[in-house]
């Protein structure tokens, strides 16, 4: 996998860089940031929505379902002890011509996306502090 680099721009604003692409993450003003980008929690939940939408779109394209767009709308709640995203609600819009009997397949595809799998089966993490 490609290296993802996180570098500080100013305050709590950080640039996330990979393969020549860049995204900005910052905290809301109420949380001490300047709201110059998505918060880390928003990036996490947004990644889940994008992963689901992309996988479902590939299925719809492959099977010729084009009467409408695939899109996802997500909301989340934070929880404490430990501080984390505690709940995520996903509304997945699919093309109107997807037959009713194919919706369980769509659900399985959505739940098989790598980000969903990561959130339901957390990865091992190795944190090294370098001075």
pLDDT 10s digits, 12-64 = 999 999 999 999 999 999 999 999 999 999 999 999 999 999 999 999 999 99
- What are the residue boundaries of the structural domains of the chain, listed by start? 1-38, 39-122
Angle between helices 103-111 and 40-63 in degrees, nearest 10? 140
Determine the topology of domain 39-122 in CATH.
Answer: GMP Synthetase; Chain A, domain 3 (3.30.300)
3-state secondary structure of 39: coil
Evaluate the omega torsion of the peptide bond into residue 82 and state whether it is cis, within 30 degrees of 0: yes
User: pTM of the prediction?
Assistant: 0.93
Report the chain's mean pLDDT, rounded to a whole number.
97
* Cα–Cα nearest to 99, from 63, 70, 72: 63
Residue 1: per-residue pLDDT: 85
């Amino acid at each position: 996998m490609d290296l993802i680099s996180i570098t500080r721009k100013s305050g709590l604003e950080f640039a996330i860089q990979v393969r020549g692409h860049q995204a900005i993450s910052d905290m809301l003003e109420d949380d001490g940031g300047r709201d110059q980008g998505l918060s880390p929690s928003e990036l996490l939940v947004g990644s889940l929505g994008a992963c689901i939408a992309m996988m479902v779109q590939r299925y719809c394209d492959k099977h010729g379902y084009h009467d409408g767009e695939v899109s996802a709308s997500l909301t989340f709640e934070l929880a404490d002890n430990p501080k984390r995203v505690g709940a995520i609600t996903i509304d997945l819009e699919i093309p109107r011509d997807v037959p009713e009997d194919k919706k369980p397949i769509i659900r399985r595809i959505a739940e098989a996306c790598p980000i969903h799998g990561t959130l339901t089966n957390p990865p091992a993490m190795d944190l090294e502090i370098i001075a």
